[in-house]
Amino acid sequence: MNPSENPDFDDSILQLEMELLLEALVRQYGYDFRNYNKAHIKRRLIFRMQQLGLKSLSELQHQILHHSNILAMILKDLSINVTEMYRDPSFYLSLRKEVIPLLRTYPYLRIWHAGCATGEEVYSFAILLKEEGLYDRSQIYATDFNTEVLETAIKGIYPVSKIKEYTFNYQAAGGKNSFSDYYTARYDAVRFDPELRKNIVFASHNLVTDSVFAETHLIICRNVLIYFDRSLQNKVLNLFNDSLIMGGFLGLGSKENIMFSTVQDHFLILNPNEKIFQKKILK
Amino acid sequence: MKTYEAIVIGSSAGGMYALKNLIEGLKSGFRIPLIIVQHLSPHSENYLAHFLDQLGILQVKEADEREKIKQGYAYIAPPNFHLLIEADQTFSLTVEEKVNYARPSIDVLFETAASVYRERLIGIILTGANHDGANGVKVIKAHGGFTMAQNPATAESDIMPKAAIATGKIDKILDISEISDFLNSLNNS
């Protein structure tokens, strides 16, 4: 029986078990989910507990501590892996029209995709940079804490079933060519042109525990902050603020904002709908 | 009589007018917050919130992440995000996989609301052509909450209310106008 359907099931015990499990994850492995939104974490942990036929989160904790394959599973459950190419095409259209002309004035560009998951949005933006003639002077850092999803990102191979939607998104995002110019299809998969990867460094980086990326011109971090509580959102936004050059840009997810955060005063709002911000130039 | 602190509503095909009729049937000054998942195309704008807000009965808005749930408001889940409720009665959003082929999913809202509001929650399943919300209804019941389904005979699409009723965990099966009347009676007590 689903524990959440069991009337005798005690939420306060579940709460305690969840806190202990998250404590175990950070103490033993250094993965810190303690400041993630709890409703989401709870759903994911209970889902995994049921899939494994376990009766409590304490049992799940035991499995995590003693079986590395279970740890890998949990990290995948708790990381944010759902993404698509040109997710929210209007965001990319706005980058192209409002941010690219300003980035063009720099002799070289450092771009950081934080929380890139399986890399779809990294390739999306790499294509955009190529079409705008900025790719060759760009260095793109694409990071995620989950090394398993990074492996997928490095390969740049995605299911062919998604291509119709991605092509639609690419065009809506102001794509200038035929989208098929950028990939080769084979059987049920497409592989993006390895040339796109030339200036991309995929690396493991944990926003919760790792430090600043220096002198960045643009940070793209979409639909990651929504998983964090207010204190962790502030911490990460400060990390972004410290990583950006003055006048650098920050692109967040459509439901994310710097309003009400501790860095609010350090940024101008470039596009309020697309959540694109510019770090102020202090004289 | 029990005091209810929140009402969660799930609707799908035909839901826009079902929601309109339900809200129009509420008396102005209705206090208990409504939290609504209506299945929408991922590319749709927040037209629904605007449409329901214009009725002038409740303040209707799209739910924002970290937003505190307040009386006198109706909140709509944003398209392409799951809407969850945290223990401190704020919203959180996720983009994780679809649940029951849906994002937002009714089950996700109902299950997380149940563990926050427990016996002080009402869950309502309206018209729809899928099975989303059926598990959520079970979870609300297990936490001591109250559940209703739109009468399948008068629902534009009867599959979703029928699936909810088939769980055996629905307390009342009512037409839309009767749902509004029932909610009004709670608000007055």
The CATH code belonging to domain B6-188 is 3.40.50.180
Phi-psi region of B146 (alpha: psi -120 to 50; beta: other; left: phi over 0): beta
Q: Which of A10, A43, A90 to mutate to test the interface with B (most CBs of B within 10 A)?
A: A43
Q: Check A223 against B95: CB less than 8 A apart.
A: yes
ipTM: 0.89
Q: Where do the structural domains in chain B lie, given as residue ranges?
A: 6-188
Known catalytic residue at B43: no
**Chain A hits for B92, Cβ within 8 Å:** 37, 39-40, 226-227
**Chain A hits for B64, Cβ within 8 Å:** 255
**Chain A hits for B136, Cβ within 8 Å:** none
Q: Check A80 against B111: CB less than 8 A apart.
A: no
Indicate the residue of B95, B97, B112 with minimum beta-carbon distance to A39. Answer: B112
Task: Please state, as a whole number, how many other Cβ atoms lie within 10 Å of the Cβ of residue B73.
Answer: 18
Measured CA distances, B169 to A227, B39, B136 (Å): 32, 22, 10
Is residue A142 within 8 Å of A116, Cβ to Cβ? Answer: yes
**What's the whole-number mean pLDDT along residues B116-129?**
97
Residue bearing the bigger pLDDT, B46 or A185: A185
Omega prior to B104 cis, within 30 of 0: yes
Give residue A187's identity as a one-letter amino acid code: Y
Known catalytic residue at B131: no
Give residue A224's identity as a one-letter amino acid code: V
Please give the pLDDT value at position A36: 95
Model confidence pLDDT, tens digit, residues A191-243:
999 999 999 999 999 998 888 888 999 999 999 999 999 999 999 999 999 99
**What's the whole-number mean pLDDT along residues A138-165?**
95
Stretch (H or E) spanning B11: strand B6-11
Indicate the residue of A4, A80, A226 with minimum beta-carbon distance to B92. Answer: A226
Q: Give the up-direction half-sphere exposure of residue B116: CA atoms within 13 A in the CB hemisphere.
A: 24
Contacts of A127 (CB under 8 A, 6+ apart): A170, A175, A182, A196
Model confidence pLDDT, tens digit, residues A164-188:
999 999 999 999 999 999 999 998 9
